[in-house]
Structures are given as structure tokens and as C-alpha cells.
Structure 1
Amino acid sequence: MSFRIRAARLDDLQALYEMAKLTGGGFTNLPADRPSLKAKLEQSDTAFARTVDELDDERFVMVLENIDTKQVRGTCQLFTKVGQQWPFYSYRMSTLTQYSDELDRTFRAEMLSLVTDLEGSSEVGGLFLHPNERAGGLGLLLARSRYLFIAQHRARFADQVLAELRGIIDDAGDSPFWDGIGGKFFGMSFDEADMFNALHGNQFIADLMPKNPIYTAMLDEDARNVIGRPHVSGRAAMRMLENEGFVFENYVDIFDGGPTMVARTDNVKSIAGAERAKLIDRLDDSTAETAHKALIATGKLRDFRCAYAMVAKTDDGVMLDDDAIDTLDIESGAELLMIGR
């Protein structure tokens, strides 16, 4: 079977809705709500249609398509400039150190402060792969295709990029972090607050959340233990982000306490290492032996496509295997962007 990443279309709504029902909650960018998903696809459609090559507040939705069955089996999103429609809130973890002469002791208190430090950054998010397809490197294809999209449209993205990882959620769908902080101020369950945020934005956080720092020592142990930890299903995603150069700088999600990873856009491995080349021919018996596996992207905006390929370099360009050429729907002379797997 052959898979490719392509721009999402409005007629992908049903496929996205079916996948959203499989997320298990905590996926703000992929809520199991048709009107919300439709609105996101419409925003993406507008972004793909805008040809001005400059930074603005946009959302791009892409999907993983099985080209043999035409089924959509995964999705990912890119946000060019967060915090424009409503504030982009995070908790920043910090430490206050104090010394007592009388006790001759040093005390260190960890605190969570509500901040908008990351406002204006770009974001890669909304990544979900159908449970039946979690093999063969398709998650890696989804994740890294976003960086090739950024490289292909660099002027439309900020100089810093972030990724939010889902935090710890128990088998009942509850978040210990939310129960320890947000739930005490909002009178809402985690699921209710998460869905409200997905549908209406997080301005209600600014309206109701206390602005003073929260001392973590005042939280119960369950809430403290999950701060900055990814959901078990997100550990591999965290490793992939770290491999790309993202780091955890003590920012956590205000709902579930999951870690927010950040990187300088031009330093992201798959952006900095992306090479431009031209397709000159298909692999033959003499060149197949020297070929290596890579991610190949071609086209811009609505025409953007990305897939795995076997690649052999020559002085004049590159040669690809037949399956990749068919999957990407390209011909000799096509301009390509590639990064080794």
C-alpha cells in the first residue's frame, strides 16, 4: 500500500470526524464535533487559497491518504501564528529560592505562572494516526511532512515553532492536573472544559483562572506527578520532537499539564537539512543498489504532496522508485524537496 500526505479538502470532513471519535479526548485540534471540524477545514481551505507569501494567522490541515483505497488514515495541522484570535496561554514552571537566617535553611518552591510567552510562534499539532496504521513509519511521515511544508513556505511561518503534547489522562478520561487546578475554579470536568476550548477558544481561562502564581506544593500528589509529562501515547512523539531539535523549556498546557516543546524554526533538523533537487528519471537496476530511503515533498499549497521514496542522487538530479513517482503523481523535471529518513 502507498501513502501520501496532501492538503485536506472539505470533503474529508467525515473521515476526520470518524478519527476524532477515536482520540480518547484531550485533542483540542481534533474534536469529535462536526461543526468545529468543518470550520477548521474551511479555515484551512482559505489558507491554501491565499498565495501571498507572508506571515499571517492561518491554519493548514493535511491528511494521510492511502492512494490505493482513497481512505484518509491520519491527519496533522500547522498554525502559522498562534495567539491572534485569542490569547495563547501556558503555565510556566519556575522556582523561587528563599533563605531563612533563623532556621539556617534554604527553601525552594516550585510555581506555575499563567503566561502568554509563546504568543506569535508557529505551531505543529493536530497529529493523529488511525490505530490500524501505526506501523511502517507512517507517524514519522505525518510528523516530518509538516517541516517540509514549512520549508516549502518558509515566509509564512514564524521564527519559533512549538508543539504541545497531550498530558496524562486516566482511563476514565479525567486529567489529574485539571482536577488539581482548573476544576476547582471552573466547576467543569476536564472533558467539558477541553471541548469548550475546542469549540469556543480559551478566553474563559483569562476570565476565570487566578492570575497569581500557583505553588505546586499546594496541589495534591496526583496533580504534581503529571506536570510536564506526556500521555503514554505521546512518548514516541516527544522523542521525535527531540530528534528534530525541540526542547522542553518548562511550559506546560493549562488543561492537562502536558509539555510544550519549542525550537527555532530554522534549526529544526528536517527544515535545516532539507535539500532541493529535480527529478530526472526512474530508478533502474543499475541505480537501485545505491538508493536510500527519504521523504520527498513536491508542490506548494493545495498541490503539496509528501511521501516516502527510494532516492538515488546523480550530478544532474535524483532518481526515484516507480511507486514514489506514482504516489506523488510527478514527472521528470519536477522540483522536489527531500530529507533522508
Structure 2
Amino acid sequence: MSFRIRAAVDDDLQHLYEMAKLTGGGFTNLPPDRRALTAKLERSHAAFARTDGPVQDELFVLILENIETKEVRGTCQIFTLVGQSYPFYSYRIGQLTQHSRELNRTFRADMLSLATDLEGASEVGGLFLHPGERAGGLGLLLARSRYLFIKMHRARFADRILAELRGVIDEAGGSPFWDGLAGRFFGMNFQDADQFNAINGHQFIADLMPKHPIYTAMLTETARAAIGLPHPSGRAAMRMLENEGFAFENYVDIFDGGPTMTARTDQVRSIADARDSKLVAIGDDGGKETLVATGHLADFRAAFGKVRETEDGVVLTEDCARALDVREADHVTHVARL
């Protein structure tokens, strides 16, 4: 079977809703709420429709489609400029060192401080792959297609990029971090807060949380243990981000304590290594496994295929050319499959 990435359209709403119901909570960029998903699609349509101008606060929603059955099997999102409509809060993990001369001892305390350091960055997020397709590198296709989209529309994105990973969620659907910190200041459990957060955003947490630093020693042991750890289902995503050049720089989500990974946009591996080439021929005569993309804005498409480079351009396999709907003399952007 062949898969490709394309821009989301209105007819994808039901598919997105069905996938959202499978996320298991804590997945704020894909809420199981038709109204919220419709708003995301409308915002994405507006972003794809804008053809010029400076970086703005926009959202692009991409879809993983089986080109044979037309089934939607995954999705991912790109936010161009976070923290514009509302402050983009994170907890920054820091350390306070104090020394007592009388006791001849030095004390070091880990602290969580509210910060808006990451405002103005772009964000990759909202990646979800249907459980029935978690093989064959489709998660990699979803993740890396976003970087080729950024490469091909570089003026629409900031110079810094981040990715928030979902934090630890227990078997009952609760969050140890929420229970140990934010939950003490709100009259709702994690599930209720999670649902409100997914639909309305987490500004309400930032508004009501204490603004002074939090000593982690005052948290429960389970809450401390969850700080900066991804959800078990997100460990592979964290490794993929690290392979792309993202790093954990002590920022965590104020909602569930999950790690925030950051990178310089132009230093992301898939962006830095991608090349633009002319398609000189289509044929199944060898080549290297490659991620290939083409198309501008709403016409963007990406797929895996074998690519053979020549002096004049590249040769694509027939199945890849069909997935991308390209012909000889078209131009493609490509990067080696990791």
C-alpha cells in the first residue's frame, strides 16, 4: 500500500474526530471535539490560502492518506508562531544554590519557574498515527514531512522551533504532575482539565497558577519523577526529534510536565540536508530510500520512494511519482530516509 502526506480538507473532519477518540487523553492538539477540530481546519484553510506576507500566527494541518483506499490514517500539525494570541507558558527547570557557613553545607534546590522564553518560535505538534499503521515508518513520514514543508515555505516560519511531548499519564488516565502541582489549585481532576485544555487552551492554568517559583522538593515523589519525562508512547517521537537535532533544554509543559524539545530551524537535520531537484525521469531502476515532497501550500504532497540522482536532476520510482502526482520536468524536494 502507498501513503502520502497532503493538506487537510473539510472532508477530513470525521477522520480526525475518530482518531482523536483514540489518543487516550493529554493530547491537546487533537481534541475529540468536533467544534474544536472544525476551528482547526478553518484556521488551516486560511493559512494555506495566504500566499505571501510576513510570519504570522498560523496553523497548518497535514493528513496521512492511503492513496489506494483514500483512508486517513494519521495527522500532524505545524504552528508558525506561538505565544501571539496568548502567552506561551512553560516551566523552566532551574536550580538555586545556597551555602550555610555555620553548618558548612551547601544546599541545591531544583525549582520550576513560569517562563515565556519560547514565545515567537514555530512548533511542530499534533502528530498522531492510527494504531493499525504503526509499522513501516509511517510515523517517520508524518514527522519529517513537516520539516520539508517548512523548508519549502521557509519565510512562513520562525528561526527557532519547538516540539512539546505529552507527559506521563497513569493507567487511570490521570497525570502525576497535575495531581502534585496544578491540581492543588483547581477544582477539577486531570481528565476534566485535559478536556477543557484541549478545547480552550491552557491559558486558564497560567492565569490561576502561582507566579512564584515552585520547589520540586515540595511536590509528591510521583510528580517529581514525571518532570521532563515523555509518555511511553512518545519515547520514539523523542528519539526522532533528537535525531533531527532537537534538544531538551529544561523546559516542561505546565499542564502535564512533559518535555519541550527545541532547535534552531535551519539546523534541523531534515531541513538542512534537503535538496531541490528537477525530475528528469520516472522509472524503477534503483535508487536510495528517500523522503520526497512537492507542491506549494495546499498542493503540498510528501511520500517515501526511491530516488536516483543524476547530473541533471533525479529519477523517481513510478509508485512515488504516482503518490506525489508529479511528471517529468516538475521539481521536488528530497532528503535521505534515516
| Matching residue within 289, 296, 300 for 1:293 | 289
For 1:21 and 1:333, locate their aligned partners in 2 and report how far apart those are by CA, in whole Å: 43
Written as runs of structure 1 = structure 2, the 5 A alignment for 1:138-287 is 138-284=138-284, 287=285
Deviation, 1:187, is 1.3
Tell me, which stretches of 5 or more residues in structure 1 are unaligned? none
1:336 match: 332
| Matching residue within 286, 300, 308 for 1:304 | 300
Q: Which moved more, 1:241-250 or 1:194-203?
A: 194-203
Deviation, 1:53, is 4.4
Describe the SS at the equivalent of 1:17. helix
Deviation, 1:177, is 0.1
- CA contact under 8 A between 2:5 and 2:301: conserved in structure 1? yes
- CA contact under 8 A between 1:283 and 1:312: conserved in structure 2? no
Written as runs of structure 1 = structure 2, the 5 A alignment for 1:27-176 is 27-176=27-176
TM-score (norm 2): 0.99
Deviation, 1:5, is 0.2
2:322 match: 326
- CA contact under 8 A between 2:202 and 2:255: conserved in structure 1? no
Letter in 1 for 2:101: D
* Structure 1 residue runs of 4 or more that deviate by more than 2 Å after TM superposition: none
Describe the SS at the equivalent of 2:84. coil
Deviation, 1:190, is 1.2
Taking every aligned residue pair, what percent have the same amino acid on both sides?
A: 69
Letter in 1 for 2:291: L
TM-score (norm 1): 0.98
Q: Deviations over 1:182-232 (max 9, x none)?
A: 100011111211221221122212321000000000001000001000010
RMSD (Å), alpha carbons: 0.8
Q: Deviations over 1:14-47 (max 9, x none)?
A: 0000000000001100000000000000000010
For 1:87 and 1:196, locate their aligned partners in 2 and report how far apart those are by CA, in whole Å: 17
| Matching residue within 303, 306, 313 for 2:309 | 313
Deviation, 1:10, is 1.1
For 1:187 and 1:138, locate their aligned partners in 2 and report how far apart those are by CA, in whole Å: 40
Describe the SS at the equivalent of 1:250. strand
Q: Deviations over 1:43-75 (max 9, x none)?
A: 000100010142000000000000000000000
For 1:213 and 1:58, locate their aligned partners in 2 and report how far apart those are by CA, in whole Å: 31
